[in-house]
């Protein structure tokens, strides 16, 4: 059985892991940077998010034509990177919604960008149920669903038929059918995870199972639809996001950090790491 290995360290607060074009992409929310790293540990900063310095969610995904979409919590917008590297506003979220704690993005094969919003100041704010919204390819935005217990990681199934949303406070992965116009219907539990689970970032594997990162339990867990746990990987530190990658899709990639330090996590020595684990499937 393979062992965990460290691909990269000195990360402050890593999130939004994506495997793309042969490398792992992720965001350091404290530094407002998008970084890529290969399986040999060679890394580079490819983009600094708009909106200035300081903490703010920075999540991203790609349009079908390969252009990058960046969800910026600081500017409250979805930004698109053009082929020449220029950044333009793809969707303005600042006036469309009362609550502005944007957290995650997932794009389907038609270019619909699903966005979620936790709807309260985190950490420390009073809880409010979150929502999921849609930004269409032409930049129009609308709310699709609400009542989420801290919506976190999201994934669209490869056939474009289903959106899965991790609810960290509700201990569940929630699924929706995606309608032809990009809307959501048939809301249902995809997997009830138990009261101790706190799913954060998620990814799908080739067998249709979901891996979810779990910060308080220091693990990354593979689960089938219905809730059967297949495997749990002890990550040692809080696990915030995960991705399936490598040349054959058999490498589990995870970002971890010492969340127990509270606000000092952002000002002290960086504890964040990218971990890799080779899998049999």
Query: pLDDT by residue (tens digit) across 184-232?
Result: 999 999 999 999 999 999 999 999 999 999 999 999 999 999 999 999 9
CATH of the domain at 54: 2.120.10.30
Condensed to tens digits (0 to 9), the pLDDT of residues 174-183 reads 999 999 999 9
Report DSSP state, residue 127: P
What pLDDT is stored for residue 101 in this prediction? 87
Beta bridge pairs of residue 201: none
Q: How far apart are CA 205 and CA 200, in angstroms?
A: 16
Q: How far apart are CA 240 and CA 36, in angstroms?
A: 17
- Distance in angstroms between the alpha carbons of the first and the last residue of the chain: 12
**For residues 117-131, average pLDDT:** 87
Residue range(s) defining the domain that contains residue 79 = 5-278
**For residues 99-117, average pLDDT:** 93
For the purposes of burial, counting CB atoms within 10 Å of the CB of 21, is it exposed (0-12), middle (13-18) or buried (19 or more)? exposed
Q: Contact at 8 Å (CB) between 144 and 129? A: no
Checking if the pLDDT of 54 tops 60, the result is: no
Helix, coil or strand: residue 261: helix
Q: How far apart are CA 93 and CA 79, in angstroms?
A: 11
Beta bridge pairs of residue 20: 23
The tally of domains found in the chain comes to 1
What pLDDT is stored for residue 186 in this prediction? 98
Distance of CA 238 to the CA centre of its chain: 15
What pLDDT is stored for residue 236 in this prediction? 96
Condensed to tens digits (0 to 9), the pLDDT of residues 8-24 reads 999 999 999 999 999 99
Helix, coil or strand: residue 263: helix
Checking if the pLDDT of 157 tops 60, the result is: yes
Q: Above pLDDT 70, what percent of the chain?
A: 97
């Amino acid at each position: 059985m393979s062992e965990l290995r460290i691909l990269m360290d000195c990360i402050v607060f890593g999130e939004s892991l994506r495997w793309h074009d042969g490398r792992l992409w992720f965001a350091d929310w404290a530094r407002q940077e998008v970084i890529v790293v290969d399986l040999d540990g060679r890394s580079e900063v490819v983009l600094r998010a708009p909106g200035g310095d300081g903490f703010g969610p920075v999540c991203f995904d790609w349009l079908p034509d390969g252009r990058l979409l960046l969800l910026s919590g600081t500017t409250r917008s979805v930004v698109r990177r053009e082929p020449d590297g220029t950044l333009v506003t793809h969707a303005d979220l600042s006036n469309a919604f009362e609550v502005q704690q944007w957290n995650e993005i997932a794009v389907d094969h038609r270019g619909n960008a699903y966005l979620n919003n936790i709807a309260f100041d985190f950490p420390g704010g009073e809880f409010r149920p979150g929502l999921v919204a849609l930004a269409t390819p032409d930049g129009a935005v609308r709310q699709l669903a609400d009542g989420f217990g801290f919506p976190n990681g999201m994934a669209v199934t490869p056939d474009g038929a289903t959106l899965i949303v991790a609810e960290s406070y509700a201990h569940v992965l929630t699924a929706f059918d995606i309608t032809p116009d990009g809307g959501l219907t048939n809301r249902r539990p995809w997997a009830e995870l138990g009261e101790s689970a706190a799913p954060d970032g998620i990814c799908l594997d080739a067998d249709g199972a979901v891996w979810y990162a779990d910060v308080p339990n220091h693990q990354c867990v593979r689960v089938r639809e219905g809730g059967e746990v297949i495997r749990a990987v002890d990550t040692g530190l809080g696990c915030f996001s995960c991705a399936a990658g490598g040349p054959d899709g058999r490498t589990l990639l995870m970002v971890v950090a010492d969340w127990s330090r509270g606000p000092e996590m952002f000002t002290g020595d960086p504890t964040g790491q990218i971990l890799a684990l080779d899998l049999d499937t």
